[in-house]
Chain A
């Protein structure tokens, strides 16, 4: 294959920032010894064997199920929102997308911190709840708070790809279906939904990946009581200093993400995939 010279900077970029780091992680995950010199490294599979311990499998399971839950919720919330926005006139539509994106201009950490003051025992929500005469609710430092944090932070990543696919659907197809006697539900199930699958798949991948690897949300909203796979990796690299085990966990996580991508992509094989973001 002949590569155009104008693409050299991008190839260079990809090698330095994608290929080399991935190769290093793979190398560390398969070795043991001091990281400073390649000569000190010894090949081993122990890092992966160590992960088979039930306590690590549990953490992986919790992370996968939380990520799946948050992906499902963002899809259930995001699809109707994307649908509503895509049906507005372009001027209104742009304003709505802008409103959706504006919170993302703010730092992710700051937005998550804001939830602390909203959900806290003496926070804003509980203030209203107690004013209305109810007992204060336990809103923070549990699974649901972590889930809420994920859904809140990743929702735009679900809406935007679905929205972009929906707006590109040829209106003629819908009209044709209606002309041929399909009712609204049939139009949705047989025309709109199948055509929007590429957007849904992109959305799922874009939500599932960060949800699987997050460690900030679980620490802030989970109160340090919830160890997700991202926290485990963070811990190995920053506190324990065992880069080999940390790399092995990263590889395992990447495999899981790839698996889900492969499964979701299966639904897309017989389609033409015209509107996908990828």
Chain B
């Protein structure tokens, strides 16, 4: 009996180790993709798997910071990730990204010129544009009777308990800084301090600080005013026609989400194939139609229905976005940002 038990214990240990070390029987090569939640048409992944006979391991994140920490410290290696402008700047600076061989990504030619060679990646050596957009205010026309054209509306006591803010330190700080007339990339401690006070002053009026839930809350008319990214606004207006999106006159943030290959990527060749695939006009059009954000691919834009490309929410005219800023990485003062945000959140 005792001997049998011993055999059983050893066998089960061997079995456990065996399972851990071999994985499943799938012989296809694997590519790990790390993207924002709800940011791709799922059928595109299927198409890619079939065409290139690979398995796509698809994971999602909710904020740039979240993604940065798991690539920097997490045990998984990703082959393709989708960070935004300032985060790409930081990752290049910290030598976390692999250079992309442009010969393997010919579809880079489909990208509009104005989305290339931007300050955060001057020659697009490290990143290929995916989507872009603005940050603005969405409001319910039946619940708000003031003119909405300024960030000030988010401090209007009339809408106490009906305002939704983004649970994101960079975006919230940007709004307060813009409201005060400063740059959203301010490095001046006094300006940041004032912005903090503004946000603390606003806190009692705020219904909640939210992430992706904002879509359900605004469509369901749980709140009157919310800060949102333009692409989400497109999706929300599709579901509730009382909603309207505005870019405030003080100016806002213009952002870009690009595709990059992290340094520890295991399958760089396939990663480049994936990036190139994503910028095929018909694939890019499929994604754009599905997620509601604005494509940087002009050939894809031509394939989209007119009601999308004529939408001023997704494709604002130049005059509307001349007053915008692109985020820069705060680099050495990042700790100050973290502290300020913590203080705002801890305030009661």
Within 8 A of B (CB), among A233-278: 235, 237-241, 243
- A241 touching B345, Cβ below 8 Å: no
Find chain A residues with CB under 8 A from B342 CB: 55, 227, 232, 235
Q: Are B345 and A225 in contact (CB under 8 A)?
A: yes
Q: Give the one of A58, A235, A238, A243 with max B CB within 10 A.
A: A238
Per-residue CB contact flags for chain B residues 1-44 toward chain A (1 = under 8 Å, else 0) read 00001100100110000000000000000000000000000000
Interface residues of A (CB under 8 A from B): 5-6, 8-9, 35-36, 55, 58-59, 62, 116, 120-122, 138, 141, 223-225, 227, 232, 235, 237-241, 243
Taking a contact as CB atoms closer than 8 A, the residue among B66, B207, B213 that contacts A238 in the complex is: B66
The complex places the Cα of A36 from the Cα of B213 at a distance, in Å, of 35
Compute how far the CA of A221 lies from the CA of B78 in the bound complex, rounded to whole angstroms. Answer: 33
**Structural contact, B220 and A224, CB atoms closer than 8 A:** no
Known: A8-B9, A238-B65, A241-B73. 9 other contacts (CB 8 A): A122-B221, A141-B207, A224-B345, A225-B208, A235-B342, A238-B66, A238-B69, A240-B65, A240-B69
Collect the chain A residues with CB atoms within 8 Å of residue B348's CB. Answer: 62
Q: Give, as a whole number of angstroms, the nearest-CB distance from B212 to chain A.
A: 12
Cross-chain contact of A223 among B5, B72, B208 (Cβ < 8 A): B208
Q: How far is the CA of A158 from the CA of B348 in the complex (A)?
A: 30
Main secondary structure of the interface of A (DSSP, over half): helix
Within the complex, what minimum Cβ distance (angstroms) separates B2 from chain A?
Answer: 9
For residue B63, CB closer than 8 A to chain A, the reply is yes
Q: Which residue on chain A has the smallest CB distance to residue B343?
A: A55
Instruction: Give the chain A neighbours of B346 by CB distance below 8 A.
Output: 55, 58-59, 227
* Chain B contact residues, CB within 8 Å of chain A: 5-6, 9, 12-13, 63, 65-66, 68-70, 72-73, 161, 167, 203, 206-210, 213, 217, 220-223, 338, 342-343, 345-346, 348
Minimum CB–CB distance from B27 to chain A (whole Å) comes to: 30
- In Å, the complex CA distance between A9 and B223 comes to 54
Shortest beta-carbon contacts, A-B, top 4: A223-B208, A224-B209, A239-B65, A241-B69
Contacts of A141 in B (CB 8 A): 207-208
Which residues of chain A are within 8 angstroms of B167 by Cβ–Cβ distance?
224
Q: In this complex, what residue of A is CB-closest to B66?
A: A238
A113 nearest CB neighbor, chain B only:
B213
Q: Which chain A positions have C-beta within 8 A of B72?
A: 241
Q: Are A120 and B345 in contact (CB under 8 A)?
A: no
> Chain B residues with Cβ under 8 A from A62's Cβ?
348
